[in-house]
Amino acid sequence: MRGAKSAKWVAGAIVVALAATACGGNDDGGDKPKASGKPAGYVSIDVGEPQKALIPADTNESLGSYVIQSLFTQLLDFDADGNIVYTNAESIETKDSKTWTVKLKKGWKFHDGTPVTSQSYIDAWNWSANIDNKMQNAFWFEDIKGYEDVHPEGEGAKAKAKEMSGLKAVDDTTFTIELDKSVPYFEYKLGYATWAPLPKAFFDDPKAFGQKPIGNGPYSFEKWTHKKLIQVKANEDYTGPNKAKNKGVQFKNYATVEAAYQDVLSGNLDMIRQVGPKDLPKYKSDLGDGAVEQEYAAVQSIVPAFYTKQWKDVDPKVMQGLSMAIDRETITKTVLNNTRKPAKSFTPPQVKGNQDLDTEVFDYNPDEAKKLIKEGGGVPDNKIFIQYNTDGGHKEWVTAVCESIRNATGVECLGDAKPDFATDLEARDNDEVKSFYRGGWVADYPLNVNFMRELYGTTAEANNGRFSDKEVDELFKKGDNAKTLEESIKLYQEAEKVLVEKMPAIPLWTYQINGGHGKDVDNVKVDFHGDFEVTEVTVK
Amino acid sequence: MPDKTADMEKKTEEKAVMPSSTEVPLTLDAGPAPGKPRSLWSDAWHDLRRSPLFVVSALMILFLIVMAIWPGLFTGASPRDSDLKNHFLQHPNWTHFFQADWFGYDLQGRSIYARVVHGARASIAVGVVVTLAVTIIGTIVGMVAGYFGGWVDSLLSRLTDVFFGVPFIVGAMVILTTFEERAVWVVILALAFLGWTQIARVARGAVITIKQSDYVVAARALGASTSRIMFKHILPNAMAPIIVVATIALGGYIGAEATLSYLGIGLAEPTVSWGIDVASGKDQLRNAPFVLMIPSVMVAITVLSFLMFGDAVRNALDPKMR
Amino acid sequence: MGRYVARRLLQMIPVFIGSTLLIFLMMFALPGDPVRALAGEQAVDQAQIAALKAELGLDRPILVQYVSYIGNVFQGDFGTQIASQRPISEVILDAYPVTIQLALFAFTFIVVAGILLGVIAGLKPNSIRDRGLLGLTLLLIAVPSFVTGYTAQFVFSFKMGLVPPNVGLEPSWNEMLMPAMVLASLSLAYVARLTRTSIAENLRADYMRTATAKGLPRRRIVGIHLMRNSLIPVVTFLGTDIGSLMGGAIVTEGIFNIKGVGGLIYEALGRREGATVVGVVTIIVIVYLLASLIVDLLYAVLDPRIRYA
């Protein structure tokens, strides 16, 4: 096996070297045609190389998600307003928010022709949740009864069972999900791509599947030229509501957003997800009608590390004061080029349960800021840091926020630059943040719950600031135990009002997409978490 | 001043010849001719004073060094104070010499003129300190290898090859990522760690040539100690090619700092440096190109000054020219 | 000759091991955990991370990892990427063609334009054209490559529309022209200066006088005698330069959207794909070592006085 591989490698290297030499020698004049090579009716978008193989439960970054979303259809999806739209599910019902009955639409098929059945879902979820399979998104299944058997806690843990007892097929198109306890918003979680069904072919060879996935979605897989291009073809037999309105999609990899943008201008690329800072000031005049500007459900904040000496026993008034020292209005308009909207609460306006908090804590007011900080006993050391990663375009706003705080209150504020995201995360995981870190959260599902429970609950995994408050935990728990979704959202709204008094983080602004498309395509829309609805795009 | 902008590169590039020269009976005829050090240096000084290249570059370097040490002499404006409301990307007023708005304001509403003046310190410090460090390390390694020869030489030469084999920018990127702190000294450390090989090779080559010269042989025959031979006879004579390579490399290190900062892994704020400003300026290329261009021009001018200076020194020290 | 080559090849082994070990150790010292980084801001399961690391062999002592790594490399197995699970040899092979293409293009440019400019300047030392060319080369050396790159892109693509600003998925030669010139500019300046110096110096050499005295035609003197002797330092430089060009150009590749080795290293470093970085560097080191061997052998061709025993 190894020997074969090495022989192939050497042969490959020789071929490459020869090809390159040949070109270098005498091919200078040979003008190849412009290498877009896009079949008629296809649309193209700048989506780079996914980090991992294309398996729904192992994909959590935006590039891979784009491709997964086009190949797979889960039980349900959300419209632009965050309302549930059933896709593969006919209905999902529950009486007690604990046992959920799913009915599938009949006649659905995977791209290889095999039917999508209850078992396709149950097998997929059982496999994905299994700790031995090391799927990134396994924790998404933790609400299901029997999860701790397939995914036990602790070091070196091995799965004790292959199946979660909570999943039961009733017939080919009906199955039930029993949860550990009632979760009123469980249905919303099902919209995440991790919950996609998998065909039989997957279980035979997951590794090969990841390179050549077979889904049940609006597009079927065509080819993947690594680091360059992924191409998918419209699925003619697809019967879901999001049937493709184009013939196929090319996901093209660009080294920089600037390069992608230039390709949109020159017609080599149809859609760009986000215009880079260099072109932002001019993109509306460049693209005209093609400019796409839309807010979506994501919040950026600066989060105090409550385990530090500085913030251990901080009076929330100090946080409120710091919050009021940040001129969100001016910073979003200047440094951020209108790519963000000032935050007015802990949740973005696009999620259910977002509310007007009736507070001045998020308004810029230097005098009030100074007063509050003084009342709260001042900032220990009179100096704060904001930790950020330099590879993510955060430097500019961190500097601006710091300067705003420094100018308004006299508190020294400095950026704490980490060279990349990996280093930034390690410092957060190991409780090594000096003062504040930059936090960003994009909605997994369009409910206010997602922006509080996952971030500020004492045991929440993404609570890297280690905020812990009994009253808040209690309120979250009450929301989780609510009988209906509406009640749950309401209870979380109550909790958010308390958060303003406790200030587990300082929300800064919500996100906005500033993308665009070229002249060849139309109907480019954005979904609730900021992705283009690729299926809706039409070719002119 | 005939024919003096000559072969600086030849010596610079001896680095590439040296690893092989253990076997190759080839000595590029660039080694300094043995002579009394005093006369070499005073002759050089005599030449330098009359070289316009030297005078111009030396004045420019002096100017930059004064700027690095006392930025307050050039501007009262702070490089940090920002005013987003009034000065966001305000364009330059080219006639407002030495005023805060001379070169306009950057994305944070900070005076670009003030930042350029204050940024000199980091760039010059990186250039000078790295050059000093690599000169010291490289000279020691090169002298020991060249003087003792044999297995010591083999060992040190292979070690030099090892460091030379690591691609410079990639190596520096890895080292800089290792240190989470992005201060000037970290950049200096990274560049010095990888940069000494060039000097080591030049020093080794020079020492091997000098070692065979009559006066060293004579000194040894008279029973002079190793350290005396090394420091009294060899070092002063080997200094000329080393100084030449070092001065030219200095410009290169300033450029390297800017490149690393441009890639986002060099210095980081709150340090003020041209490289950092170039890196953030590239995002403003379309609507405010001056934010990128002004610090870039400063880097280029500084590197050019040191290159010209090195060129002039090389001309003066090149024994074959006299 | 054969014995010399064999000895040189033997000597490469410790250098090769040293360089790769150095970069291996440096990668190991990096903060940030590649497996953890995959999860991003979302929840992490420590047991799962540990299991993944064990599978990748990342939990073993560093020297054991290194030995097994080098052992595998000699069998053509560069390991597997942590995130994509693709064989690293395949990832490198994907990135190399375009880098080689760019490097050879730039190299051609360096050799042709550099030597030409050097000869033009060197044949008339201290003339105006000599001084002018020297000044130009100093400027090329002084301006950082990202400035050259952005300026070229801005002027030649956006303002004048002469060449495409970016390189597409299948690079064509007109797309590669500008990146290659930008990449070549620095070395071109060095080669020009080196050639110029060498020519100017050799013009005054004894053998030139002898040749002229023998009544040889000037074209033959310049073309054969002068060039052959003057090119020795230039070849030395070119030898190391081709090695560094093959190592990918992080800045140039980034500006012109070229998905080559430079971009691969940059990305792999950010994601802590240590094996990928080490793999690329291993190849760069091999290329560099071979290039310096070839340079030494070329000496014998250029300078008959040198004989390898």
The average pLDDT across C217-235 equals: 80
Neighbours of C59 (CB within 10 A): 12
Q: What is the largest CA-CA distance in chain B?
A: 78
Residue B72 CB contacts under 8 Å (≥ 6 apart), including other chains = none
CA C45 to CA A461: how far, in whole Å?
9
Buried/exposed code over A118-132 (b: 16+ C-beta within 10 A; e: otherwise): bebbbbbbbbbbbbe
Q: Is the per-residue pLDDT at A299 higher than 50? A: yes
Beta bridge partners of A440: A300
Q: Is the per-residue pLDDT at A344 higher than 60? A: yes
pLDDT tens for residues A222-259?
999 888 899 999 999 999 999 999 999 999 988 888 88
* B residues 255..274 contacting C (CB < 8 A): 255, 258-259, 262-263
pLDDT tens for residues B85-131?
888 888 888 888 888 888 889 888 899 999 999 999 998 999 999 99
Q: How far is C100 from chain A (nearest CA, A)?
A: 6
Q: β-strand A383-389 against A436-442: which pairing, if any?
A: parallel
The average pLDDT across C136-155 equals: 85
Chain C contacts of A225, Cβ < 8 Å?
169
Q: Range of A193's domain?
A: 43-252
Chains that touch B (3 or more CB pairs under 8 A): A, C
Q: Is the per-residue pLDDT at B3 higher than 50? A: no
Q: Kindly determine whether residue C47 and residue A425, on different chains, have CB atoms separated by under 8 Å.
A: no
Q: Could you tell me if A398 and A501 lie in one domain?
A: yes
Q: Kindly determine whether residue B82 and residue A403, on different chains, have CB atoms separated by under 8 Å.
A: yes
Asked if C142 has any chain B CB less than 8 Å from its own CB, the reply is: yes
Type of residue at A179? L
Neighbours of B33 (CB within 10 A): 15
Q: Could you tell me if C202 and C285 lie in one domain?
A: yes
For residues C240 and C187, the answer to whether their CB atoms sit within 8 Å is no
Q: How many domains does chain A have?
A: 2
Q: Kindly determine whether residue A407 and residue B265, on different chains, have CB atoms separated by under 8 Å.
A: no
pLDDT at position A438: 92
H/E stretch holding A221 reads strand A219-225
Q: Is the per-residue pLDDT at B10 higher than 70? A: no
Is A331 within a domain?
A: yes
pLDDT at position B208: 86
Asked if B155 has any chain C CB less than 8 Å from its own CB, the reply is: no
Q: Which of the 8 DSSP states describes residue A446?
A: S
CA A535 to CA A234: how far, in whole Å?
9
Confidence of residue A25 (pLDDT cuts 50, 70, 90): very low
Distance of CA C95 to the CA centre of its chain: 14
In degrees and rounded to multiples of 5, residue B112 shows phi and psi of -70, -35
Q: Kindly determine whether residue A276 and residue B283, on different chains, have CB atoms separated by under 8 Å.
A: yes
CB-hemisphere CA count at 13 Å for A532? 31
Percent of chain A with pLDDT over 70: 93
Instruction: Choose the final residue of a domain: A185, A218, A252.
Output: A252
Q: Could you tell me if C64 and C169 lie in one domain?
A: no
Q: Could you tell me if C288 and C162 lie in one domain?
A: yes
pLDDT tens for residues C256-291?
888 888 888 888 887 788 888 888 888 888 888 888
Chain A contacts of B269, Cβ < 8 Å?
395, 399, 414-415, 417
Type of residue at C282? T
Is A273 within a domain?
A: no
pLDDT at position A89: 95
Burial of A383 per CB tally in 10 Å (0-12, 13-18, 19+): middle
Q: Could you tell me if A366 and A487 lie in one domain?
A: yes
Enter the pTM of the model.
Answer: 0.81
Q: Kindly determine whether residue C14 and residue B16, on different chains, have CB atoms separated by under 8 Å.
A: no
pLDDT at position B30: 38
Q: Range of C6's domain?
A: 2-74
Beta bridge partners of A84: A78
Confidence of residue B6 (pLDDT cuts 50, 70, 90): very low
The average pLDDT across A306-315 equals: 92
pLDDT tens for residues A176-203?
999 998 899 999 999 999 999 999 999 9
- pLDDT, mean over chain A: 88
Is A175 within a domain?
A: yes
Percent of chain C with pLDDT over 90: 7
Q: Is the per-residue pLDDT at B320 higher than 80? A: no
Q: Could you tell me if C68 and C99 lie in one domain?
A: no
- pLDDT, mean over chain C: 82
Give the CATH number, domain containing residue A339: 3.10.105.10
Q: Kindly determine whether residue B16 and residue C134, on different chains, have CB atoms separated by under 8 Å.
A: no
Buried/exposed code over B181-212 (b: 16+ C-beta within 10 A; e: otherwise): ebebebbbbbbbbbbbbbbbbbbbbbbbbbbe
For residues B258 and B299, the answer to whether their CB atoms sit within 8 Å is yes
Q: Where are the beta strands (DSSP E) in A30-122?
A: 42-46, 76-78, 84-86, 89-94, 99-104
Instruction: Choose the final residue of a domain: A252, A284, A317.
Output: A252
C-alpha closest to that of A362 among A499, A513, A529: A499
- pLDDT, mean over chain B: 80
Q: Kindly determine whether residue A226 and residue C46, on different chains, have CB atoms separated by under 8 Å.
A: no
For an interface test with B, the pick among A256, A257, A278 (most B C-beta atoms closer than 10 Å) comes out as: A278
Nearest chain A alpha carbon to C74: A6
Percent of chain B with pLDDT over 70: 86
Beta bridge partners of A165: none
Chain B contacts of C28, Cβ < 8 Å?
none
The average pLDDT across C60-66 equals: 82
**Per-residue tokens: C281:** 């560097």
Percent of chain A with pLDDT over 90: 64
CA B176 to CA B170: how far, in whole Å?
10
Q: Three-state SS across B33-50?
A: CCCCHHHHHHHHHHHHHC
Give the CATH number, domain containing residue A173: 3.40.190.10
Q: Could you tell me if A376 and A480 lie in one domain?
A: yes
pLDDT tens for residues C102-120?
999 999 999 999 999 999 8
Domain B107-321 CATH class label:
mainly alpha
Asked if C269 has any chain B CB less than 8 Å from its own CB, the reply is: yes
Asked if C36 has any chain A CB less than 8 Å from its own CB, the reply is: yes
ipTM over the 0.90 cut-off: no
For residues B105 and B111, the answer to whether their CB atoms sit within 8 Å is yes
Q: Is the per-residue pLDDT at B8 higher than 60? A: no
Q: Could you tell me if A198 and A302 lie in one domain?
A: no
Q: Is the per-residue pLDDT at B20 higher than 70? A: no
Percent of chain C with pLDDT over 70: 94
Residue A270 CB contacts under 8 Å (≥ 6 apart), including other chains = A43, A44, A45, A264, A517, A518, A520, A521, A537
Q: How far is C20 from chain A (nearest CA, A)?
A: 20
CA C82 to CA C78: how far, in whole Å?
12
pLDDT tens for residues B37-89?
456 677 778 878 888 888 999 999 999 999 999 998 888 888 888 888 888 88
Asked if A268 has any chain C CB less than 8 Å from its own CB, the reply is: yes
Q: β-strand A174-178 against A167-171: which pairing, if any?
A: antiparallel
Distance of CA A2 to the CA centre of its chain: 38
For an interface test with B, the pick among C236, C284, C297 (most B C-beta atoms closer than 10 Å) comes out as: C236
Q: Could you tell me if A245 and A349 lie in one domain?
A: no
Q: Is the per-residue pLDDT at C47 higher than 80? A: no
Distance of CA B283 to the CA centre of its chain: 29
Q: How many domains does chain C have?
A: 2
Look at A130-139, A190-199, C23-32 and tell me which has the smallest mean pLDDT. Answer: C23-32
Tokens 């405010």 identify what position? B288
Is A533 within a domain?
A: no
CA distances from C26 to A55, A530, B170, B214, C23 (A): 33, 38, 11, 45, 5
The average pLDDT across A512-536 equals: 91
Instruction: Choose the final residue of a domain: A201, A226, A252.
Output: A252
Is A176 in a helix, a strand, or coil? strand
pLDDT tens for residues C159-194?
888 888 788 777 778 888 899 999 998 889 889 988
Q: Is the per-residue pLDDT at A456 higher than 90? A: yes
Q: Could you tell me if C23 and C161 lie in one domain?
A: no
Q: Could you tell me if C40 and C187 lie in one domain?
A: no
pLDDT at position B96: 84
Long-range contacts of A313-319, Cβ-Cβ distance < 8 Å, separation of 24 or more: A314/A376, A314/A380, A315/A375, A315/A376, A315/A377, A316/A376, A316/A501, A316/A502, A316/A503, A317/A372, A317/A373, A317/A375, A317/A376, A318/A372, A318/A373, A318/A376, A318/A377, A318/A378, A318/A379, A319/A376, A319/A503, A319/A506
Any idea how long chain A is? 540
Q: How far is A444 from chain C (nearest CA, A)?
A: 10
Please give the angle made by the CA atoms of B31, B34 and B38, to the nearest 5 degrees: 115
Higher pLDDT, B142 or C27: B142
Is C81 within a domain?
A: no
pLDDT at position C304: 65
Please give the angle made by the CA atoms of C196, C202 and C205, to the nearest 5 degrees: 160
Q: Could you tell me if A247 and A301 lie in one domain?
A: no
Q: Kindly determine whether residue B23 and residue C295, on different chains, have CB atoms separated by under 8 Å.
A: no
* Domain boundaries defined on chain B: 107-321
Q: Kindly determine whether residue C46 and residue A155, on different chains, have CB atoms separated by under 8 Å.
A: yes
Beta bridge partners of A220: A233
Confidence of residue A66 (pLDDT cuts 50, 70, 90): very high
Asked if C267 has any chain B CB less than 8 Å from its own CB, the reply is: no
Q: Could you tell me if C7 and C107 lie in one domain?
A: no
Q: Could you tell me if C27 and C169 lie in one domain?
A: no
For residues A315 and A309, the answer to whether their CB atoms sit within 8 Å is no
In degrees and rounded to multiples of 5, residue A345 shows phi and psi of -160, -175
pLDDT tens for residues B235-283?
888 887 888 788 878 888 888 888 888 887 888 878 898 988 888 888 8
| Residue in B10, B26, B166 closest to C299 by CB | B26
| Residue in A5, A32, A226 closest to C172 by CB | A32
CA gyration radius, chain A: 25
Is A529 within a domain?
A: no
Tokens 């209150």 identify what position? A409
For residues C171 and C177, the answer to whether their CB atoms sit within 8 Å is no
pLDDT at position C1: 66
Residue C96 CB contacts under 8 Å (≥ 6 apart), including other chains = A16, C260, C261
For residues B272 and B118, the answer to whether their CB atoms sit within 8 Å is yes
Chain A contact residues (CB < 8 Å to B): 276-279, 281-282, 327, 330-331, 334-335, 390-391, 395-396, 399-400, 403-404, 407, 414-415, 417-420, 423, 427
pLDDT at position A478: 92
pLDDT at position B101: 85
Q: How far is A197 from chain B (nearest CA, A)?
A: 41
Q: Kindly determine whether residue C289 and residue B296, on different chains, have CB atoms separated by under 8 Å.
A: no
Any idea how long chain C is? 309
H/E stretch holding A244 reads none
Chain A contacts of C164, Cβ < 8 Å?
266
Asked if C173 has any chain A CB less than 8 Å from its own CB, the reply is: yes
For an interface test with B, the pick among C146, C199, C229, C240 (most B C-beta atoms closer than 10 Å) comes out as: C146
* C residues 61..100 contacting B (CB < 8 A): none
Chain A contacts of B286, Cβ < 8 Å?
278-279, 281-282
